[in-house]
Structure 1
């Protein structure tokens, strides 16, 4: 018996439904597990994989070429450096000068080269060039050493061990470039003073002193001041520095704004020692020069350093506080206490407190006008004591009101610094409670 049309159509529909479900199931599988039965899809996947492999091969090839190029350049640098070292040791003076310039260039451009150059033993030869009487040869050696010493503790130690301090020029009648390079090298090497490799010799101090006294170049003076500041951080160097006569020079340079900060920092290191303190106290510029620096509103760091030095000098020294008071320090300190930086204000207030204590200590029981003595317990004695207390309270109140008026006037004049300074200068120290 043949099948009916309805049964045959149901079979076809079931077959189509199963095929569609299978396609949907295959589509929902992860991409990594799906395999396309379409030949065009498989070809596309194959081409994509091939392109990816080609890219990987090309990247590896470019990386290999870059490494080969770097290795080749390093090998050429080593060959060039060895050639330079050979010329520096065995070449003529002209070749040595050219080699020193090449070493300067290489050390400036590549930090890694500095270590390699010093390992090849060029430092002693460059140091010997510094002792040359030929200006160009001397300058070339100095410039190369400055670059080798830059940022390298080991190289600085090697330069000092090679005897650079005995080879440096002892005179200042040199050209400006040579003086500048000498000062820069000394600044770099002076950083060894407070390290595990201290400087055993300070024979270069006369050279620095002469430069500070006569060289007009600000940059050269800054380098020398920086070198002195580094040296002054070590207690053992205070004696040689004071004996070399640097204190008067530092006090003079501290009055010049462009040099003041480093000069004051060095004086601050010296004043904490007995020898340095006496040298500063005996100067004819004291204390007027430091009081003048306290008025530099545009140099807060200099104000702080100046106040620090004055604190050390005034501490438990009535003679110094008297000299400062006679020089007019009290109104200047009041101005700093009101308008200075936070640290300068603290130091100024401390000094003002010392002046107040000093003034009170001098007011003994017999200071002031004497009155005829009367018997204790008499009516006149009680009346006199009561009147004295009343007058004292009145004077204290007047002084307090006067100071408050001055402070209020200063605070209410924001745009007129000239007016503010005139108020401070015109104020008598007698109206202050210090």
Structure 2
């Protein structure tokens, strides 16, 4: 403020000086007058003075903003330190209230998340998850969820603090809100699957399996399915996932439209390995459940994933192709090849080509039992040739007699339509290729 007043005084004195200079200029003889007009110089000086005043005021405002910002940062840091102190040394009621405050602070600002974890609150929040009091446990879970959001370092700190050992042992006895929060936290932590953390070897999988088996909340199951999908992207986790019995659960959930897409995505990751492929092949739900998914016209993504899994299973496996053919996959593939998405159409056409090639190989030209060629004129060859001719003559005679009997029966049954219908059915070929 003092700088502003001094600048104003300087402007007034400048005006007085230029006013006196102008009077002197008029008192001088015309020859000695300067060509320049002092009024113009006065205007220029006033403009410069005003710009200087504006610069001073802007600098002052910027300084005030910086001071205010630094004051706010200092205030927030002081409040955070107070929260941390309560979380470490306060009563259980204070800890619960502090965990809720940390949740709200971490939700608003990324810098606050970093500062909070640097102050060492993660171990205390993890210990709250093991509390038998539901409200205290939920407060710790919600705070950890916000701290883990978008921060790899914070997730690693939560895992290192032993979060998997603090989860409820009997998740079925926990309330629905606690199960949902646990599943959301596990989904966030499962993104560490590609790091050095071996999540599959911990208590991670039994917890997910139990929720997928027993929980009826769709959001909770979706979170656990997302976590299992993240785990399945790592080759080392496929064995533990299969050993934990996840595959039958995923196949059951894939038949439910609300959870089908994520379940199929996980199965798609597992089927790419030999262990996962065998586990899927041995399921009693295969291949009927995947064939049924191919008929979901309102779920094109599920059709694409199902056709991919079927392709992997059918590739170089005649037994699996036979099972699929017996389950009625061919007409479904024909329909999908016409009406499905472009990717599903390509996969369906590829499967149809495999079935067509296999059928043609089975129905290729065949002229009876193939025996090794023997020298012409040998006694054995002559005897076999005579025996073959005798058998062929006998078969031809039997066929002629049978055809004559059928013709005679048809002629005699011209007045009985029911009998004629039975004859047509009995003589129709059931071994036609198409």
The two structures share one fold, judged by TM-score above 0.5:
yes
Corresponding residue of 2:102: 103
Residues 120-162 of structure 1: per-residue CA shift (max 9 Å, x gap): 1111111111011111111011001011111111111111011
CA distance in 2, matches of 1:104, 1:156: 15
Corresponding residue of 1:135: 134
Residues 181-227 of structure 1: per-residue CA shift (max 9 Å, x gap): 10000001111111244436331322212211222211111100000
Runs of 5+ unmatched residues, structure 2: 1-33, 370-384, 387-430
State the shift of 1:368 in Å.
9.3
Q: Confirm or deny: 8 A CA contact 2:288 2:327 kept in the other structure.
A: yes
Corresponding residue of 1:253: 253
Residues 248 and 63 from structure 1, CA distance in 2 versus in 1: closer, same or farther, beyond 3 angstroms? Answer: same
1:150 aligns with 2:160: no
TM-score by length of 1: 0.75
Q: Could you say what secondary structure the match of 2:199 adopts?
A: coil
Corresponding residue of 2:284: 284
Residues 299 and 69 from structure 1, CA distance in 2 versus in 1: closer, same or farther, beyond 3 angstroms? Answer: same
Residues 153-187 of structure 1: per-residue CA shift (max 9 Å, x gap): 11111110111111111222211111111000000
Larger Rg: 2
Corresponding residue of 1:353: 353
> In the TM superposition, what are the counterparts of 1:116-127 in structure 2 within 5 Å?
116-127=115-126
Corresponding residue of 1:239: 239
Corresponding residue of 1:294: 294
Residues 278-317 of structure 1: per-residue CA shift (max 9 Å, x gap): 2211222111111111112222211111011001111111
Q: Confirm or deny: 8 A CA contact 1:170 1:204 kept in the other structure.
A: no
> In the TM superposition, what are the counterparts of 1:32-431 in structure 2 within 5 Å?
37-172=36-171, 173-199=173-199, 201-366=201-366
CA distance in 2, matches of 1:430, 1:103: 74
Runs of 5+ unmatched residues, structure 1: 1-34, 375-428
Q: Confirm or deny: 8 A CA contact 1:36 1:42 kept in the other structure.
A: no
Q: Which moved more, 1:354-363 or 1:130-139?
A: 354-363
State the shift of 1:36 in Å.
8.0
Q: Could you say what secondary structure the match of 1:257 adopts?
A: coil
Residues 201 and 268 from structure 1, CA distance in 2 versus in 1: closer, same or farther, beyond 3 angstroms? Answer: same
Q: Could you say what secondary structure the match of 1:60 adopts?
A: helix
Residues 50 and 165 from structure 1, CA distance in 2 versus in 1: closer, same or farther, beyond 3 angstroms? Answer: same
CA distance in 2, matches of 1:280, 1:431: 31
CA distance in 2, matches of 1:358, 1:75: 76
CA distance in 2, matches of 1:217, 1:233: 25
Residues 203-252 of structure 1: per-residue CA shift (max 9 Å, x gap): 13222122112222111111000000011111221122112211111111
Residues 380-400 of structure 1: per-residue CA shift (max 9 Å, x gap): xxxxxxxxxxxxxxxxxxxxx
Corresponding residue of 1:5: none
Residues 320-339 of structure 1: per-residue CA shift (max 9 Å, x gap): 11111111111211222222
Q: Confirm or deny: 8 A CA contact 2:200 2:240 kept in the other structure.
A: no
Q: Confirm or deny: 8 A CA contact 1:247 1:279 kept in the other structure.
A: yes
TM-score by length of 2: 0.75
Aligned length: 343
Residues 368 and 303 from structure 1, CA distance in 2 versus in 1: closer, same or farther, beyond 3 angstroms? Answer: farther
State the shift of 1:342 in Å.
2.0
CA distance in 2, matches of 1:174, 1:198: 26
